[in-house]
Chains A and B, each alone.
Chain A
Amino acid sequence: MSSPRIEVAPFRLSGVVYSVLLNHRRSLASLGDAVSAPPYRGAPKSVVLAVKPRHALLPPGGNLLVDDDSEELEVGATLGLVIGTTACAVAEADALGHVAGFVAACDGTLPRTSHYRPQIRAMARDASCVFGAEVVARERAGDPDSLSIRVFVDGALARSASTADHVRSAARLIADVSDFMTLRPGDVVLTGSAPDGPRVRAGATIAVEIASVGRLETRVTIAEARRPR
């Protein structure tokens, strides 16, 4: 993936992207009593993550791809933490020191009704996760835990959220993830999006705005013809 512009170390992204799931306070609340029933049997204790594979990642300006007119994507607008220095088993108090900066991302997934299995068909699709044009240095962007995130679809405000509503703060995420996976310079941790993001189809234009981080724009486009069956 060609990187967003980064004016501080690590200067380029590594291509390793972890996406934090269920990190918005409403995510579990919206499931109601189902959280304690099978198959879940209780709220998650550890951080819940997915890996974004290389072909899912789109450079700034890239288009989200769908197969046809009928396919619907759920828009996940999320703040990405860009790692600046290697973080292995770091304490929460030291964690933000390993973050070089922040980037906006728009993660398009197929809508899911279950959170039991990884469902990579819905979440690891080619050309499904767009990055903003710039990684803003941490010192310049300020507190990552009080940033407003707004999503516009075809120019109209479709969703408003804030990182203040995250279950785990940016520092806590870095600490918890680095407890079992070393984060390296250029790795990105997407901190999570609000549940039930806007649904979009081919032709939609999407803008994600994160306060003091920036705005990214993308468009939903139909992929080239499928292999005939």
Chain B
Amino acid sequence: MPATQMRLRIDASRCQGHNRCRAIIPQLCGVDDLGQGVVLDQGIVRPEWLAAAELAVRNCPEFALTLEAEPTV
């Protein structure tokens, strides 16, 4: 079994800049100059951030966030 890591993505076509994710997990979600949400550090979720990342996904009003497991390189 290859090791996996979790990655958080923001779908820019759905994000409307509510910034709920930034309030919940500022280590991983930021904001650009227009107020749109952006992921930091390519969205790689450290294990200790997983619960907060999942909470951010469940709080996005526009369903713009997804969390996916991927193999580590």
> Does B associate with A?
no
